[in-house]
Amino acid sequence: MQKELVTAFAEVFGNDENTNIYFAPGRVNLIGEHTDYNGGHVFPCALNIGTYAVARRRSDRLLRVFSMNMPQLGIIEISLDSQKAVPAADWANYPAGVAWAFIAKGHPLPYGIDMLINGEIPAASGLSSSASLEVLTGFIFRDLYDITLTNQELALLGQYAENHFIGVNCGIMDQFAIAMGKKDHAIFLDTADLSFNYVPLVLDKAKIVLANTNKPRELVESKYNERRSECERALAELQTVTAINSLGDLSEAEFENYKSAISDEVTARRARHAVYENMRTVRAVTALSENNIDSFGQLMNESHLSLRDDYQVTGYELDTLVEEAWKVAGVFGSRMTGAGFGGCTVSIVREDAVSLFIEKVGIAYEEKVGHNADFYVVDVGGGPVKLS
């Protein structure tokens, strides 16, 4: 892989002198969906698949980027002094946004870079291909220009770029899980204060299987920002009757006690998901720590039902994958992962049932939906690295 990347870089940019190779993982969230911008807990892990890059310094203020996944777009040039997104190629806005965020947050970039990327993560799949590219770009800038930043600060810069340059009001989970990933561990993160614990992800004779609906979704154009606004409205109304800073501050019993303050029934359902999902995540981590995969899987199932019924971010394709997964013997739990509206499901499957799971779910999905799903059996990886 590394040799092919360097060869490709030389073909695109003229030569491969003074280059380095980098990698940043994707991530999957095992449970705790749409809680990260509601002050709740999340439980993601980094993956062993992600985004590779070959990069080198430039002597001017141009950021020149090329994607092996979209070679037809050619080299895209962006000035480091640009203040707005590039209309010609959406993907290039992620490295451009990170460069903008570095400068906006007081980390001047003296020069630009040439960067070739090759992503293993399907775009718009819910596995954070965009956050992987954001963290990777920040990691490269930090390395090439000796900028003093922690990995956690890189995550925050990536989130800032996504919020204020790209225009998606995402929480911190994606960038944090990628920047702070640890092999064979998931991250139990309290998004209210960014306190976290690494939890060993010991799945005895079980595997994590991702299933891609192959229904892409564009977060900027989806109802993601609408859901966040609905939760903000619910929080404001709840704050008239109880002193809380976020929906994540409430237990289920407290929410039931105060929910009458929310004037709209749909908004109340959005808030109920945020509160109940947060508590499910806490219980799920306890179950995993006790090696109770059955209980963990049941909580995953409950999470999907809440995302389907209260938060309404699943859709026919995701529901079909999950419902077919539940029918297969050897599946501990299955749920949508990511923002929803398409993308992927995550399932915990007994190791000896993985092949049957992929076969049965794949056949049923194609029969019902009309196109195929893609499956990935993944391992838990670490954070961003410099490979050479």
Cβ neighbours, 10 Å, residue 229: 14
**CA 369 to chain CA centroid, nearest Å:** 25
Element (H or E) spanning 227, and its range?
helix 224-238
d(CA 350, CA 353): 5
Torsional class of 78: left (φ above 0), alpha (ψ -120 to 50), beta (otherwise): beta
Distance CA 59, CA 109 (A): 11
**Which tokens hold the place of 30?**
């095992």
pLDDT in 10s for each residue of the chain, 388 residues: 789 999 999 999 998 899 999 999 999 999 999 999 999 999 999 999 999 999 999 999 999 999 999 999 999 999 998 777 666 568 999 999 999 999 999 999 999 999 999 999 877 666 778 999 999 999 999 999 999 999 999 999 999 999 999 888 788 999 999 999 999 999 999 999 999 999 999 888 999 999 999 986 655 456 888 999 999 999 999 999 999 999 999 999 999 999 999 999 999 999 999 999 999 999 999 999 999 999 999 999 999 999 999 999 999 999 999 999 999 999 999 999 988 888 999 999 999 999 999 999 999 999 999 999 999 999 999 999 999 9
The structure tokens 């970039």 sit at 109
Check: CB of residue 285 under 8 Å from CB of residue 199: yes
Positions marked active-site: 174
Give the CATH architecture of domain 2-196+382-386.
Answer: 2-Layer Sandwich (3.30)
Q: Distance (Å, rounded) from C-alpha 100 to C-alpha 88?
A: 18
Give 49-88 pLDDT, tens digit per residue: 999 999 999 999 999 999 999 999 999 999 998 777 666 5
Determine the 3-state secondary structure of 205 from DSSP.
coil
DSSP state of 90: G
Rg over alpha carbons for the chain, rounded to the nearest Å, is 21
Q: Which alpha helices (DSSP H) does 72-116 contain, by range?
A: 93-104
Q: Which residues pair with 27 in a beta bridge?
A: 46
pTM of the model: 0.93
DSSP secondary structure letters along 249-292: G--HHHHHHHGGG---HHHHHHHHHHHHHHHHHHHHHHHHHTT-
Query: Contacts for 283-288 with beta carbons within 8 Å, 24 or more apart?
Result: 284/30, 284/31, 284/32, 284/43, 285/41, 285/43, 285/188, 285/199, 288/186, 288/199, 288/201
- Find residue 210's DSSP bridge partners: 346, 376
The answer to whether 242 and 251 have CB atoms below 8 angstroms apart is no
- Sorted by where each begins, the domain ranges of the chain are 2-196+382-386
How far apart (Å, rounded) are the C-alpha atoms in residues 281 and 257? 21
The 8-class DSSP code of residue 34 comes to: T
Other Cβ atoms less than 10 A from the Cβ of 106: the count is: 6
